[in-house]
Amino acid sequence: MIIKDEYDVVVVGAGPAGSSTALAIARSGLDVLIVDRNQELGCPKRCGEGFGDYALNQIGLKRNEKWVDQYINGALLYAPNGKKIVMDYGKDVGYIIDRKKFDKWLALEACKAGAQIQTKTIVDGIIKESDFVKGIHAKFLSEHFDIRAKVVVAADGAESTIAKKAGMKIPSSPNFFDSGFQYEMAGIDLEDKKKLEFYFGQKIAPGGYIWIFPKGEDRANVGIGISAENSRTAKAYLDKFIKTNRKFEKGSIIEVNGGAIPLGGVMHDMVMNGLLVVGDAAHQINPLHGGGLAESIIAGKIAGTVISDAIAKNDVSRRGLSNYNRIWWKERGNKLKNLEKAKTLFEKLSDRQLNTLANELDKKKIEEITSGNLSKLMKLISKLAIVGIKEKLGF
């Protein structure tokens, strides 16, 4: 092993949140180590891989063609009754990435700025002294060791254990998690390789949706996200959808992945003495569509900047790190909280209400709702309530 036994900062997790945090810290000239339990960065992927330029611009990086699989210019939304809403922007507005390449690239950008990385290293404990986190216990292959740090960053994803091990209270209710399951498929008949496809309905994906994210001519991520509290598994719903849809008749499953998606429960307090939590581990994810890449990267930048300031001021106490709570809530938290309310309303809609919603929605209204402006949605809810009452009365 070539790593040292002491750093200014140790980041646990080399996903987008961890790499973005380490990038900001390394740019400020501090000594930062990222450790990840995986033997290869970015593998296995657990993601539909939908992304855009916005977050990268925020951290001063540019899109790189080597990890873009497919440019996207819109979306096709399907209501339970099959009604299709076409959203066409007439220009590319996002893309589907290759996360295995993207995660490596982002981590290497942090390295170029001065960070160090160690893979195949699982963090299995926290060093805590006088109520201050002082480092980590870790294992590289069969070798156990400790690393001391002024600040430890828990960027260890949706099934995070690090912040909890340090004694932080993190949201654990199943209400705050969706189950995600996905196949990467080849040989499928895509309707339009430049459009994302979304399928809604309580019979199709209760409280969530099925997605098809094109990755080329006949290849796509085909996945589902539903509430973790369903009696049937996400896989069962996805398999049924695939079996009953002709576009998959000649398809092959070339990769299987899935995992928890923390769609809710955004944390008010994400710091303690010597520790800070970021990304999926802090439930920093768009609750309406489940996108967490951009949120993780932006939160990482905020976290890294606050940590660098706190170390410069020689105050890594919870007070010294609490600017992270304040800045993140102002820039992202309030918007995500609003979207969490929209998600709660959306997941309760019956198929009949969803069909009514599909009739009422146009491209502009959908854009406003997904960007956190809920006034249009609130007006629609009153119409949907009438549909709900009619349903209850049986007509």
Ligand X SMILES: Cc1cc2nc3c(=O)[nH]c(=O)nc-3n(C[C@H](O)[C@H](O)[C@H](O)COP(=O)(O)OP(=O)(O)OC[C@H]3O[C@@H](n4cnc5c(N)ncnc54)[C@H](O)[C@@H]3O)c2cc1C
- Please give the residues from 252 up to 291 whose contact with ligand X meets the rule CB under 6 A: 258-259, 261, 279-281, 285, 290-291
- Taking the complex as a whole, how short is the minimal distance between the CB of residue 150 and ligand X, in angstroms? 19
CA dist 101 and 108 (Å) reads 11
- Taking the complex as a whole, how short is the minimal distance between the CB of residue 5 and ligand X, in angstroms? 17
Minimum CB distance to ligand X smaller for 293 or for 321: 293
| 239 contacts: CB under 8 Å, gap ≥ 6 | none
3-state secondary structure 356-376: HHHHHCCHHHHHHHHCCCCHH
CA dist 284 and 14 (Å) reads 16
Determine the size of the site formed for ligand X (CB under 6 A): 38
CA dist 354 and 345 (Å) reads 11
Minimum CB distance to ligand X smaller for 223 or for 274: 223
Q: Site for ligand X (CB under 6 A): which residue of 74, 157, 251, 304?
A: 157
Instruction: Quickly tell me which residue has 């009949």 as its tokens.
Output: 352
* Amino acid at the residue 172: S
Minimum CB distance to ligand X smaller for 124 or for 309: 124
Q: Site for ligand X (CB under 6 A): which residue of 207, 208, 264, 292?
A: 292
- Taking the complex as a whole, how short is the minimal distance between the CB of residue 349 and ligand X, in angstroms? 22
- Taking the complex as a whole, how short is the minimal distance between the CB of residue 378 and ligand X, in angstroms? 26
Q: Site for ligand X (CB under 6 A): which residue of 33, 34, 56, 123?
A: 123
Q: Is 47 in the site for ligand X (CB under 6 A)?
A: yes
Q: Is 98 in the site for ligand X (CB under 6 A)?
A: no
Q: Is 197 in the site for ligand X (CB under 6 A)?
A: no
Please give the structure tokens belonging to residue 131. Answer: 């109520």
Q: Is 202 in the site for ligand X (CB under 6 A)?
A: no
Minimum CB distance to ligand X smaller for 37 or for 352: 37
CA dist 43 and 370 (Å) reads 29
Q: Site for ligand X (CB under 6 A): which residue of 46, 128, 215, 219?
A: 46
| 361 contacts: CB under 8 Å, gap ≥ 6 | 85, 380
Minimum CB distance to ligand X smaller for 264 or for 291: 291
CA nearest to 49, candidates 210, 212, 177: 212
Please give the structure tokens belonging to residue 74. Answer: 């819109």
Q: Is 155 in the site for ligand X (CB under 6 A)?
A: yes
Minimum CB distance to ligand X smaller for 320 or for 333: 333
Binding mask 4-23 toward ligand X (x if CB under 6 A, else -) reads --------xxxxxxx-----
Helix residue ranges, H only, the chain: 16-27, 54-58, 99-112, 162-166, 234-243, 293-312, 318-321, 323-328, 334-347, 351-360, 363-370, 375-393
- 197 neighbors 75 (Cβ within 8 angstroms): yes
Q: What is the separation, in whole angstroms, between the first and last Cα of the chain?
A: 70
Q: Is 50 in the site for ligand X (CB under 6 A)?
A: yes
Minimum CB distance to ligand X smaller for 188 or for 226: 226
Q: Is 35 in the site for ligand X (CB under 6 A)?
A: yes
Q: Is 44 in the site for ligand X (CB under 6 A)?
A: no
CA atoms within 13 A on the CB side of 42: 16
Q: Is 73 in the site for ligand X (CB under 6 A)?
A: no
* Helices and strands counted in the chain (H then E): 12, 18
According to DSSP, residue 38 is labeled S
- Taking the complex as a whole, how short is the minimal distance between the CB of residue 56 and ligand X, in angstroms? 12
Binding mask 209-228 toward ligand X (x if CB under 6 A, else -) reads --------------x-----
- 21 neighbors 300 (Cβ within 8 angstroms): yes
Q: Which residue is nearest to ligand X (CB)?
A: 292
Residues that bind ligand X (CB under 6 A): 12-18, 35-38, 46-51, 122-123, 155-157, 161, 180, 182, 223, 258-259, 261, 279-281, 285, 290-293, 296
